[in-house]
């Protein structure tokens, strides 16, 4: 079974031109400009898909758009027919999409919170560089992975890739050292501090990564962008996002052949990174996060992994 193609991913950023320049200069990815209403939008090719860069107040995004990964568009020659075939409710009539072709928006309530549009293909040429091969995945703060599988696999024709559970436990040990009674070592029972169920669903040459927090009721750590992360911090980030915005697109990840080298090149170019080297991530990968201020408020990270 072949997954439908991903037409583009829309990013809401502070300055689209400045962000496009970083993708061109520091990531060495090709750029085109596409008509969108009365304006022109910079579009950067990544793998078989593309990134479209908008200001948060661009009317194309709709009301109350916030910085970050805003929506994804699945390619469809006839978006309205594809929407009706899926059985997912549309939020309005067919409208003019990016590049002038037709598009329809699907109800986020029926797509596990992910803002999804069906749109005519953009026709961009594939783009890659020594640093970035393609979009590895779109991270989703998920409240219900089972609902996500029903929407994107059963209804929209995307393909199941894999699922895993990430957990982190904390163990406290005590040492008692006496000049008479010698040394005693004591370990307290381990405590679960972070657990997530992660489901990957293929669309085009990338995946949707649905991250569902399984540690509801535990304390949530404060947000940090100054230190390398861990499972406890990652599940806290998902919990905070859902509490503030609800379920939906959370971050974007790029497949790279060398995560440490790519992070180093960005720092050498004057950009901030959260991680300095790769750390363990999903699917036996090494991952490394960039600082969200780099691309106008979008959380991004590199993924280094071998295909199975």
**Residue 221 confidence (pLDDT):** 58
Domain map of the chain by residue range? 6-304
Position 36 pLDDT exceeds 70: yes
Give the global pTM: 0.89
Better-scored residue on pLDDT, 165 or 58: 58
- For the segment 50-73, the average pLDDT, to the nearest whole number, is 97
pLDDT tens digits, 137-159: 999 999 999 999 999 999 999 99
Backbone φ, ψ for residue 142 (5° rounding): -110, 140
Confidence of residue 196 (pLDDT cuts 50, 70, 90): confident
| CATH architecture for segment(s) 6-304 | Roll (3.10)
pLDDT tens digits, 247-293: 999 999 999 999 999 999 999 999 999 999 999 988 999 999 999 99
**Residue 179 confidence (pLDDT):** 85
248: left (phi over 0), alpha (psi -120 to 50) or beta: left
| Residues forming beta bridges with residue 252, ordered by sequence position | 138, 300
pLDDT tens digits, 197-233: 899 999 999 999 999 988 865 565 555 555 555 666 6
The runs of H, that is alpha helices, within the chain are 16-25, 79-86, 145-149, 231-245, 259-268
Biggest alpha carbon distance in the chain? 84
**Residue 290 confidence (pLDDT):** 96
**Residue 167 confidence (pLDDT):** 76
**Residue 222 confidence (pLDDT):** 54
Q: Which are the contacts of 183, defined by CB distance < 8 A and separation ≥ 6? A: 175, 176, 177
Q: What is the mean pLDDT of the chain?
A: 92
């Amino acid at each position: 079974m072949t997954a439908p193609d991903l037409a583009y991913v829309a990013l809401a950023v502070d300055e689209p031109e400045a962000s496009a320049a970083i993708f061109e200069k520091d990531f060495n990815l090709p750029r085109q400009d596409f008509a969108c209403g009365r304006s022109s939008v910079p579009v950067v090719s990544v793998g078989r898909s593309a990134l479209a860069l908008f200001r948060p107040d661009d009317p194309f995004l709709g009301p109350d758009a916030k910085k970050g990964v805003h929506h994804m568009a699945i390619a469809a020659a006839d978006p309205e027919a594809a929407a009706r075939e899926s059985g997912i409710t549309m939020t309005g009539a067919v409208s003019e999409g990016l590049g002038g072709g037709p598009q329809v928006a699907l109800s986020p309530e029926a797509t596990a919170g992910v803002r999804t549009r069906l749109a005519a293909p953009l026709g961009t040429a594939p783009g890659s560089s020594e640093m970035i091969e393609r979009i590895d995945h779109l991270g989703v703060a998920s409240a219900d992975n089972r609902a996500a599988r029903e929407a994107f696999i059963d209804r929209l024709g995307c393909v199941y890739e894999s699922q895993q559970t990430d957990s982190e436990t904390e163990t406290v040990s005590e040492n008692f050292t006496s000049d008479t009674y010698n040394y005693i070592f004591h370990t307290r029972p381990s405590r679960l501090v972070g657990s997530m169920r992660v489901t990957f669903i293929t669309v085009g040459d990338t995946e949707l990564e649905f991250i569902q927090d399984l540690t509801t009721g535990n304390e949530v750590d404060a947000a940090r962008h100054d230190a390398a992360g861990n499972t406890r911090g990652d599940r806290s980030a998902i919990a905070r996002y859902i509490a503030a915005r609800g379920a939906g697109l959370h971050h974007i990840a790029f497949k790279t052949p060398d995560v440490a080298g790519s992070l180093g090149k960005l720092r050498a170019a004057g950009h901030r990174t959260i991680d300095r080297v790769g750390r363990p991530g999903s699917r036996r990968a090494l991952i490394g996060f960039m600082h969200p201020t780099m691309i106008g408020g979008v959380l991004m990270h590199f993924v280094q992994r071998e295909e199975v």
